[in-house]
Amino acid sequence: MTSVKRKGILERLDAGEVVIGDGGYVLQLERRGYVKAGHWTPEAAVEHPEAVRQLHREFLRAGADVMQTFTFYSCDDKLDISGNAPNITCQQINEVACDIAREVANEGGALVCAGVSQTGVYKDRSSESEVKAIVKKQLDVFLRKDVDFLIAEYFAHVEEAVWAVEVLVTSGKPVASTLCISPKGDIDRVCPAECAVRLVKAGAKIVGVNCHVDPTQCLNTVKQMKEGLDTAGLRAHLMIQPLGFHCPDCTSAGYIGLPEFPFALESRVVNRWDVHKYAREAYTAGIRYIGGCCGFEPYHIRALAEELAPERGFLPPASQKHGLWGSALEGSSKPYVKARASRSHWENLKPASGRPLCPSMSIPDA
Ligand code: MET
Ligand SMILES: [Zn+2]
């Protein structure tokens, strides 16, 4: 599949455009029956390409400007651990994942971003060459498939992310990097400001966070990253792809440490109005690449696109089926439903969980 000539990621961001990211794949496809929890590897790209393609299409229709390849954890050491895809290789998965992402991206002018994530071999400095070899193997496939840009995402140690970035930049393609860290910093207690500085010095042009904590906590972290870069006199674009779950009670282990992870997170899902608020705060903080990670579904991405429609100048196709701020309810025959066709109703609502015996916060296991 060839790429259609279109404005690249850096051209868009350098011009001050808002870039809407996509949402979470592995968690969503686990729920749909195509990914095994615990392993979280993406062999569904080969086994059920139609399922992966459909999720990409829904994100595109919701307004995503970027299709991230379904290549999470797709390196030899992770797939071996999973042991549930004996005949499928990572190369195969990564090739097919790039093709699927390109096919859907071409349906709507989106860019293809190929991703690598934390490896299973990271220890200390001694693992540098091993980590880099794994990333290089993934990169070779991505280059053959001529993806538009690259991301090193979901790294908990900035040191490992820096190694990945160092390999990815050798391609000459733009490189983004997001860490799955809390406002306190990475696992080794490197603060977000320092993390951002190290990633940019390694060559990343777009830096930020993804996964592990909620939109509020991710905003806090990226703001610290921005301050760190400003203080160091470095320039980079900022990116944010938080969880689509509220977890103010989690520790630096993020949502993985919550007893509800991963099979009972539903009561924590952010709603579309939470996403409006998050999108506006991210934009105001100077972040221009705004998307979501685990828990972020197509309707959340549509909410991002709707909140930022004044800046972007258009609405996504999925908004044909959604009146802004509940206006579609004008057509309801029930007066009490019709009365909810107002921004103030949805903006001020404190949604009930409907679970009278449940606490609003948990005690994390880690
Ligand atoms: C656990 S984070 C997963 C990130 C990846 N981009 C996905 O959505 O599948
Ligand atoms: Zn995630």
For residue 2, is pLDDT > 80? no
Contact 16, 289 (CB under 8 A): no
- Distance from Cα 24 to the centre of ligand 2, integer Å: 6
Confidence at residue 305, expressed as pLDDT on a 0 to 100 scale: 98
**Is the CB of 325 within 6 Å of ligand 1?**
no
291 alpha carbon – ligand 1 mean position (Å): 12
Hunting for tokens 């690449």 — which residue is that?
289
- Residues with Cβ within 8 Å of 133's Cβ and at least 6 positions away in sequence, in order, are none
Q: Dig out the tokens for 196 from the structure.
A: 């951002």
CATH 3.40.720.10 is held by the domain 9-322: no
Nearest ligand to the C-alpha atom of residue 56: 1
The whole-number pLDDT of residue 4 equals 58
User: Going edge to edge, which strands form the sheet with 175-179?
Assistant: 19-20, 289-290, 237-241, 206-210, 175-179, 149-155, 111-116, 66-68
pLDDT given at position 191 = 98
Is residue 211 lining ligand 1, measured as CB closer than 6 Å? yes
Q: What is the pTM of this model?
A: 0.97
pLDDT at 82: 65
The yes-or-no verdict on residue 132 having pLDDT over 60 is: yes
Q: What is the pLDDT of residue 76?
A: 83
Q: Where are the domains of the chain?
A: 9-322
Q: Which of 72, 151, 261 to mutate to test the pocket of ligand 1 (most atoms within 8 A of CB)?
A: 72
- CA–centroid distance, residue 244 to ligand 2 (Å): 9
Q: What's the average model confidence in pLDDT over 289-297?
A: 99
Q: Is the CB of 26 under 6 A from ligand 1?
A: yes
Which residues does residue 149 pair with via DSSP β-bridges, in sequence order? 113
- The mean pLDDT value for 82-110 works out to 91
Q: Is the pLDDT of residue 87 over 90?
A: no
Task: Note the pLDDT tens digit of each residue in 206-238.
Answer: 999 999 999 999 999 999 999 999 999 999 999
CA dihedral in degrees (73, 237, 110, 240; nearest 10)?
50
Query: What is the rounded average pLDDT of the residues 270-274?
Result: 98
